[in-house]
Amino acid sequence: DLLNRIAHELNTPVTAIGTAARILARYDEVPRDKAIKFLEIIAQESARLADLIASALQAVVLGVAEGKMPTEPVQVADLLKRALAPFKADIGARTLELHVKVASGLDHVSGDGDQLDAALRAVIKNAVEFNRPGGAITITVRPVRRGAKGFVEFRVEDTGL
């Protein structure tokens, strides 16, 4: 049930982003005001998608905290290396600057490595595809507190189109 809700929530912004991008790609001469409108849709829906993914990740983490999901120590450096690997060529081809900032002493997180990898790849893919040439991507990993609970935040920021 949770996966169905997440898939449904993710589908809306993905569809909007895809539609706007296809319209911009299909027509040689899109009036500037309409092109700006479509680019704003892409930016807004990308932000919405990032928020939804962050919420889904938090739900996964909460599920782990409540003992609902299997958890294992996952090395942060290995997780980042694995999640970034498919995008290295695109990052280079688009001359994007990549900045990775991991809080000192944060060597591992507890979670499902495959699910964490999939979530990170989705956000990184968005940051690469909807970034301007020569732009930047910053990945920050840091501990955060929400009430009495501690979490690890993976934040992916980009300079956008």
Query: Where residue 124 sits, what CATH number does that domain have?
Result: 3.30.565
The whole-model pTM stands at: 0.60
Q: How many domains does the chain have?
A: 1
DSSP code string of the chain? -HHHHHHHHHHHHHHHHHHHHHHHHH-S---HHHHHHHHHHHHHHHHHHHHHHHHHHHHHHHHHHTT-S--EEEEHHHHHHHHHGGGHHHHHHTT-EEEEEE-TT--EEEE-HHHHHHHHHHHHHHHHHTS-TT-EEEEEEEEEEETTEEEEEEEEEE---
Distance of CA 109 to the CA centre of its chain: 18
- For the ranges 15-24, 55-64, 115-124, 140-149, which has the lowest average pLDDT? 55-64
Helix 2-26 and helix 32-65, axial crossing angle in degrees, nearest 10: 160
- For the ranges 13-27, 34-48, 56-70, which has the lowest average pLDDT? 56-70
pLDDT at position 27: 75
The pLDDT tens digits of the residues spanning 71-117 come to 789 999 999 999 999 999 999 999 999 999 999 999 999 888 888 88
Q: Which amino acid is at 98?
A: L
The pLDDT tens digits of the residues spanning 96-107 come to 999 999 999 999
Residues 10-19 have a mean pLDDT of 82
DSSP code string of 110-135? EE-HHHHHHHHHHHHHHHHHTS-TT-
Report the mean per-residue pLDDT for the chain.
84
pLDDT at 126 over 60: yes
Domain range enclosing 87: 2-158
Q: Which residue has the tokens 């290396």?
A: 81
Q: Are 99 and 136 in contact (CB under 8 A)?
A: yes
CA–CA dist 19, 24 (Å, integer): 9
pLDDT at position 20: 85
pLDDT at position 85: 94
